[in-house]
Amino acid sequence: MNLYIRYFDKETLVYNADEAVDFLCSIPEIGMTPQLEADIREYAESDVYYPKRYKVRPRVYFIVIKTEAANMSDFKQKKALRPVSNGQQGVEKRDAVMPVVTRLNEERQGWYEGSLDFKRVVMVPATGKHEYRDTHFVARCKAESGLDCYNRIVEHLRDRVDSRSQFPSAKGKNFKFKYLGMWK
């Protein structure tokens, strides 16, 4: 497994943790510490595949990404993408392959269960001020598609919560839906 490392315009693709540490030591702003070196080595040897971000100073980070790309051009052209394993039980094979936008717009009349995580504006009784609270909402509704399910849920909530509440995009990770079956 290779490692792609980027800090602003400095980037490299290395083949082991030693080369990663050497590259990071060559950048004085990063300030390599024994703890940072140990963490990078641990990340390189682990089975974790998500990108790792390390803080250099406030709002400044460098990133390390595991990849199977043999060289930088393969990495840039996304030729060594790792297949995503879907751990959910009962998900149809086509749902795992289809992109979110395609699934959202797919016309399938029936019952849907949609879950939405949004920022709801509520008043704090002690202070009389308002604040945003993360709110999870789940509903079952008749709909024509996943997007129609999203629109029905948001329309329902807009009439019942403060108008300053913020709803996520239907394409984002804060909206999930599942087709339950045809209506009668």
Mean pLDDT by 10-residue block, N- to C-terminus, for the chain (184 residues)?
89 91 90 90 87 90 89 78 51 52 84 93 92 93 92 92 90 89 76
Rounded Cα distance, 39 and 62, in Å: 14
pLDDT score for 77: 79
**Tokens at residue 105, please?**
């717009």
pLDDT score for 49: 82
Give 68-74's long-range contacts (Cβ < 8 A, gap of 24+): 68/1, 68/2, 69/2, 69/4, 69/13, 70/2, 71/13, 72/4, 72/11, 72/12, 72/13
pLDDT score for 100: 67
Rounded Cα distance, 151 and 14, in Å: 46
Q: Is 107 exposed, middle or buried (0-12, 13-18, 19+ CB in 10 A)?
A: exposed
CA neighbor of 44 nearest in space, from 12, 16, 13: 16
Helix, strand, coil in percent for the chain, rounding step 5:
25, 35, 40
pLDDT score for 85: 52
In sequence order, the β-bridge partners of residue 115 are 138, 176
